[in-house]
Amino acid sequence: MEMLRRIWLGAAGGMLAGTLVGLGEAMVILTSSATGEYQALVYASVLYACIGLGMGVGVGVGLAVLGKLWKKLSDPLAWALGFVGVFTPLGLVITRYVVNKVVYAEAGVPGSTMLAILGGFAVFGLLVLWLGSVLLSRTPLKALLKPKGHFAAYGALVGLSAIYSFAPGGEDPAGTMAPAKPAKDTPEGAPDVVLVVVDTMRADYIGTYGNTDGLTPNIDKLAAESVVFEQYVTQASWTRASFASLYTSAPPSSHKSKLKVQPLLDENETLAEVMSARGYATGGMPNNINVTRSFNFQQGFDWFEYQAPSYIAGAAESSAQLSMYNVLRKVRDTLTAGSYTVTDYYQPAEVALDRARSFIKSNKDADNRWFLVIHLMEPHDPYFSHPYDGNAVGRAWRPNPDPSEADELKGLYRGEVKHMDTELGKFIDWMKAEGAWDDTLFLLTADHGEEFQEHGGWWHGITLYDEQIHVPLIVKTPGATEQGWRVPWQVREIDVAPTIATFAKVDALPPTWMGADIFDSDARSTMAALHAPKPPPAPEGEAGDEAGDAAGEGAAAAAEPVISIETLGRVAIAEQDFEGNKIDAIRKGGCKYIRTNEGNPRGLPTLAVFDVKTDITEQKNLAEAGGGGCDLADLEANLDGAITEAKMNSPVEGEGGVVDISCDECQRLLMLGYMSDCSASCGK
């Protein structure tokens, strides 16, 4: 009986410790991620109690042995040891994880810092043991030592959590799909707007950008009635940082959503906020956890619905962010090993676009002017076979494939692009049939590209070569008045928000926005000149020759660009701080300048310079040759100046905020290739 009592005391202390750790994590999730519901509290109080109970039994067995050797081991001290034996290791793991992410940017926690952390936990543990022994001996808390008192306390925690979790609350966190925002409240002539962002979509896999595989007949058809920007560059090569630039018209040094732990802070004024203030019904459909409420990307959206992967065991979004939810997911994955399902990772295009149809129809019926962001995930890993057969290749389980596998992965990627194109074509046809196409501003772009060994690596997020930051931008203007136009000069991701806002007749753009309308007067007049009709054939005969000469001269004058293409090209910078690879780049005047930190994990050269006019795949580094025709000093000065300007123009003080990443969030990021290890956040 003595041994069983010690085991019980260790288990009881561990169970309560686990519950408190879980409730603490749930509170962090609910206060930092704005999920809008509170189910995580009751989930945490059950799941973490179970894990704490298991760990506590292990501690209790040790206490039973210790009790044989030390007869004076009191019950209060045994309970306190069970509590500390569970609380301390979990706290250590989580603390190290946060310090590594927030303070040391994943470069590893130095030994001296770890010693300080260990010292702090040692002091805390001793304090808890002392106070616990005293309080459990001399106060009503001694009831926790008996099963009845313990389960009463635990039941009270679960009950309060359940009441708070399921009590009637506020509005649906997704918002109202068709809020009361009548079109008459927006400026006359302002169009409806659809912005489609295809995650991980390279430009050179699209027919209108030169691909000959026939993968994108529907996008190519769209391009024929749109303006195609041939040199469009993103400001980062991973989803969160890039979307933040898209929404805030600012590079990462300005919006400060650059590291994995950094959300999009409220100080940033987003495109959705500007459109909402202009009277638009705004809708957002994120399909990647990097740009959900977990990282504060709902700003300005009336309706914001995460196209979430399939949850198990009745979990909601908040509960799915709990560390121990990962246990249930692991069990599910074990039972279904060898057969991958797309909805375990994201919602496919056919599902996301069906929800987009609902938004458009609802707002048309409500006579609203609307702005909708659609996020499609097909080209992002895992790459699935089509039709779906369970075969897939993902960064999470094949982080560094052999170079000989490039053709296999490219083939799967091509299949994903083709599938996305097919579904997008159906959606565009539906918009036309619904009468929602002609007067709508429709933009198709991507947040970044993908690498298939072009520079000795895979995936995305850890370089700034063009396969990762040169993506499509196709703009169908209201009325499609500029059909089939192609723009050869460089534009940037930060220019998209000002362009949409200008079409929406926004009076004044936010002062922190650093982009500019890509259809400004100089650009539009030059586009028109470049695409002016060719002159008719000159009439025969002497008089006809004179008339023909005059006509030819007039047409030549009309075709002469108003502003030189070189002058119209906008200087583009890109920034990356990902998994220890700190990279800055500038693309200016046909030259590309990339600098990377010494000793970077990817093994990139600290300086790379390319003439992207002639070396479009960036294979010949001109750095050692003094830059060739590229002025290194000018490029470096412009890059430094642009980053300094971005920092000075930032609405965010300091280095930006951080969010705690739960185990499930980490696992979702891991499955999409944005994390290399989740042992710390998952308590392992």
Query: Looking at the chain, how many residues does it have?
Result: 684
Q: How far apart are CA 405 and CA 268, in angstroms?
A: 42
pLDDT tens per residue across span 6-60: 888 888 888 888 888 888 778 777 776 566 677 888 888 888 888 888 888 998 8
Q: Which of 100-109, 571-580, 594-603, 660-669 has the lowest mean pLDDT?
A: 660-669
Task: Give the rounded distance of the alpha carbon of 453 from its chain centre.
Answer: 23
pLDDT tens per residue across span 540-556: 655 445 544 544 444 44
Pairing of strands 193-198, 370-376: parallel
What residues does 585 pair with on adjacent strands? Answer: 574, 594
* E-strand stretches of 581-623: 581-588, 591-596, 607-611
Are 304 and 290 in contact, with CB atoms under 8 Å apart?
A: no
pTM of the predicted protein model: 0.79
pLDDT tens per residue across span 245-255: 999 999 999 99
Q: Max Cα separation, the chain?
A: 123
In the structure, what pLDDT confidence band is assigned to residue 137 with cuts at 50, 70 and 90?
confident
489 versus 258: which is more confidently predicted?
A: 489
Are 306 and 300 in contact, with CB atoms under 8 Å apart?
A: no
Are 196 and 376 in contact, with CB atoms under 8 Å apart?
A: yes
Beta-carbon contacts of 497 under 8 Å, excluding residues fewer than 6 positions away, are: 246, 247, 248, 249, 271, 274, 513, 515
Using alpha carbons, list the distances in angstroms from residue 608 to 157, 208, 455, 595, 634: 58, 29, 12, 6, 15
- The pair of three-digit structure tokens given for residue 550, joined into one six-digit string: 């005059």
CB atoms within 10 A of CB 679: 11
Please report, in angstroms and rounded to a whole number, the separation of the first and last CA atoms in the chain: 33
* E-strand stretches of 246-379: 281-285, 303-304, 370-376
pLDDT tens per residue across span 591-617: 999 999 999 999 999 999 999 999 999
Q: How far apart are CA 543 and CA 525, in angstroms?
A: 33
Beta-carbon contacts of 331 under 8 Å, excluding residues fewer than 6 positions away, are: none
- For residue 444, count CB atoms less than 10 angstroms from its CB and return exposed for 0-12, middle for 13-18, buried for 19 or more: buried
Pairing of strands 458-459, 392-393: unpaired
Q: Where do the H-state alpha helices sit in 103-146?
A: 111-138
Q: How much is the CA Rg of the chain, to the nearest whole Å? A: 29
Q: How far apart are CA 206 and CA 212, in angstroms?
A: 8
| Percent of the chain whose predicted confidence (pLDDT) is above 90 | 53
CB atoms within 10 A of CB 263: 21
Q: Residue 421: pLDDT above 50? A: yes
In the structure, what pLDDT confidence band is assigned to residue 5 with cuts at 50, 70 and 90?
confident
pLDDT tens per residue across span 526-584: 999 999 887 776 666 554 455 445 444 444 444 455 677 778 999 999 999 987 899 99
Using alpha carbons, list the distances in angstroms from residue 510 to 250, 265, 290, 300: 11, 16, 24, 14
What's the rounded mean pLDDT across residues 331-345?
75
Task: Give the rounded distance of the alpha carbon of 617 from its chain centre.
Answer: 26
Mean confidence (pLDDT) of the chain = 86
Tell me the range of 81-95, 223-237, 575-589 where mean pLDDT is highest. 223-237
3-state SS, residue 249:
coil
At 346, give phi and psi (nearest 5°).
-165, 170
Q: How far apart are CA 621 and CA 628, in angstroms?
A: 9
Q: How far apart are CA 183 and CA 440, in angstroms?
A: 13
